[in-house]
Amino acid sequence: MAKFLTNREENYSQWYNDLVIKADMAENSAVRGCMVIKPYGYAIWEKIQAELDRRFKATGHVNAYFPLFIPKSFFSREASHVEGFAKECAVVTHYRLKHAPDGKGIIVDPDAKLEEELIVRPTSETIIWNTYKDWIHSYRDLPLLINQWANVVRWEMRTRLFLRTTEFLWQEGHTAHATREEAQQEALMILDLYADFAENYMALPVIKGVKTESEKFAGAIDTYTFEALMQDGKALQGGTSHFLGQNFAKAFDVQFANQEGKLDYVWATSWGVTTRLIGALIMAHADNNGLVLPPRLAPIQVVIIPIYKGNEQLGSISEIANDLRSKLEKAGFSVKYDDRDTQKPGFKFADYELKGVPVRLAIGPRDAENGTVEVARRDTLTKETINRDNVVTHVTALMEEIHQNIYRKAADFRAENTYSVDTWDEFRDIIENKGGFVMAHWDGSTETEEQIKNLTKATVRAIPFNAPAEEGKCVLSGKPSHRRVLFARAY
């Protein structure tokens, strides 16, 4: 166990913070609530971006860029949007600094006050729909399938590296459609895209569903979500896709002439995932030795470490290592050969375990002689010695196996920690003492939902798509219910 990490079982929260720092992923900055994403953490974000961007483009989307600032008045246009977003914003009020009259430092120039304050975007529906007004006139201009990679700011009181930060990075898709059906399909298609990415790249099993009225996006008709279970029994919302109906089109007066020449309001979706996914990745898979990265998102997939005494041994081992590296790179893996002589092999082993590198190859003098190499897996911490000629085949198979194993482990954990609950006592007991996903009947009212939240801090994470119709009674109110919904405490 990495000694400098807090034990996960003793203090999960501290373990997470330790890990993010020690694995060189991110750190808090001098600006309250804003993080610095360090190169190793950012490399994971780049891999997430590359794959999502490829998928967005493959489904017909293009990227664009809209302003960081939004005029304050835009927020008031959509009635429920203002409720959800106007509260926690960074507000730009001035556009100039000047020297302090006393010569000490600089001050805000009171003469440079903006007529209308600008809000640093917490999300871009308003500025984008104000722009779409000029872009959309006819059904020929539709669909409009645009995505943006950007930073956004939501003034958070309690922040946590990756999971909740004042500034975060994300992508936000904003699409416009001629019909309700097409917009709904788009929102659901994107949810599937996200969920597929989560399962196949993050090795993270997710539950897809729809949010309740009180949990949905401010301005949406429906919010679709994918939810994952973390190792401490709390849920994490991976991302959301919103069917916005005609709400923003009406707020910004975006009408189009349909095929019959009649004017109608445009139908909309928006959807996003954020740097929070990196937090999910850590919380779902990491252990007391450090990160466990799924191979498809690992910045370094294979690390090669020489074990040697003296320059002569290092020379012959390096020759073998460089040959292996080039073969593995040719097979598409990202490989690091760490021949630093300032650190001992044991230190390096622990360091790459901490950083979650999926496969480690070690080559000692006996391996050099025998034509072998020691292969260690990060996920199981097991080792075996194989013939050097088989390395590429072996590593290729191993990567797939590691992905499957990490996924299965998370799926098993979720299965073990998902409860079908019928009584309030049991509900409360599980939420408070065990954690996990609780499938329970709920009467569908916001009042009951609110009450349950106040009593247990558990919320309806989703009404799962795959929950079968089933008659039952609300776990709190006893009123009739037609399907179970997913409750949990959440990040």
Decide: is 94 part of the binding site for a second copy (CB under 8 A): yes
Distance CA 2, CA 10 (A): 14
Per-residue interface string for the shown chain with a second copy, residues 286-325, x marking contact by CB under 8 A: ----------------------------------------
Map the footprint of a second copy across residues 1-30, applying CB under 8 A. Answer: 27, 29-30
Decide: is 405 part of the binding site for a second copy (CB under 8 A): no
Q: Please, are residues 271 and 240 in contact by the beta-carbon 8 Å criterion? A: yes
Distance CA 376, CA 382 (A): 6
Nearest C-alpha neighbor of 240 from the set 280, 269, 279: 269
User: In the complex with a second copy, which residue's Cβ is closer, 127 or 210?
Assistant: 127
Q: How far is the CB of 29 from a second copy (least distance, A)?
A: 5
Decide: is 415 part of the binding site for a second copy (CB under 8 A): no
User: In the complex with a second copy, which residue's Cβ is closer, 163 or 368?
Assistant: 163
Decide: is 95 part of the binding site for a second copy (CB under 8 A): yes
Residues 6+ apart with CB under 8 A from 489: 233, 234, 235, 431, 435, 456, 457, 458, 459
Tell me how far CA of residue 408 lies from CA of 203, 286, 381, in angstroms: 8, 14, 16
How many residues comprise the chain?
491
Decide: is 131 part of the binding site for a second copy (CB under 8 A): yes
Q: How far is the CB of 342 from a second copy (least distance, A)?
A: 7
Q: Please, are residues 478 and 445 in contact by the beta-carbon 8 Å criterion? A: no
Decide: is 387 part of the binding site for a second copy (CB under 8 A): no
At 127, which amino acid appears?
Answer: I
Decide: is 54 part of the binding site for a second copy (CB under 8 A): no
Task: Please give the backbone phi and psi of residue 377, each rounded to the nearest 5 degrees, phi first.
Answer: -100, 135
Distance CA 238, CA 186 (A): 18
User: In the complex with a second copy, which residue's Cβ is closer, 99 or 479?
Assistant: 99
Decide: is 79 part of the binding site for a second copy (CB under 8 A): no
Q: Stretches 65-73, 185-193, 220-228, 454-462: which one binds a second copy (CB under 8 A)?
A: 65-73
Nearest C-alpha neighbor of 266 from the set 143, 192, 176, 140: 176
Burial class (CB in 10 A: 0-12, 13-18, 19+), 317: buried
Map the footprint of a second copy across residues 341-370, applying CB under 8 A. Answer: 342
Q: How far is the CB of 380 from a second copy (least distance, A)?
A: 29
Burial class (CB in 10 A: 0-12, 13-18, 19+), 309: exposed
Residues 6+ apart with CB under 8 A from 408: none
Decide: is 88 part of the binding site for a second copy (CB under 8 A): yes
Decide: is 169 part of the binding site for a second copy (CB under 8 A): yes
Q: How far is the CB of 236 from a second copy (least distance, A)?
A: 21
Tell me how far CA of residue 362 lies from CA of 295, 325, 365, 399, in angstroms: 19, 12, 10, 17
- Integer-rounded Cα radius of gyration of the chain: 26
Decide: is 164 part of the binding site for a second copy (CB under 8 A): no
Q: How far is the CB of 14 from a second copy (least distance, A)?
A: 20
User: In the complex with a second copy, which residue's Cβ is closer, 11 or 93?
Assistant: 93
Decide: is 62 part of the binding site for a second copy (CB under 8 A): yes
242 strand-pairing partners: 223, 270
CA angle 129, 134, 138 (to 5 degrees): 100
Decide: is 130 part of the binding site for a second copy (CB under 8 A): yes
The CB density around residue 83, as the number of other CB atoms within 10 Å, is 12
* Token pair for 483: 């399907």
Site for a second copy (CB under 8 A): which residue of 6, 22, 51, 86?
A: 86
Decide: is 63 part of the binding site for a second copy (CB under 8 A): yes
Q: How far is the CB of 142 from a second copy (least distance, A)?
A: 13
User: In the complex with a second copy, which residue's Cβ is closer, 109 or 312?
Assistant: 109
Residues 6+ apart with CB under 8 A from 376: 349, 359, 360, 361, 362, 382, 383
User: In the complex with a second copy, which residue's Cβ is closer, 127 or 187?
Assistant: 127
Site for a second copy (CB under 8 A): which residue of 9, 11, 14, 36?
A: 36
Q: How far is the CB of 165 from a second copy (least distance, A)?
A: 9
Write out the residues near a second copy by the rule CB under 8 A.
27, 29-31, 34-39, 42-43, 45-46, 62-76, 82, 86-98, 105-106, 108, 117-120, 127, 130-131, 134, 140, 146, 150-151, 153, 155, 167, 169, 342
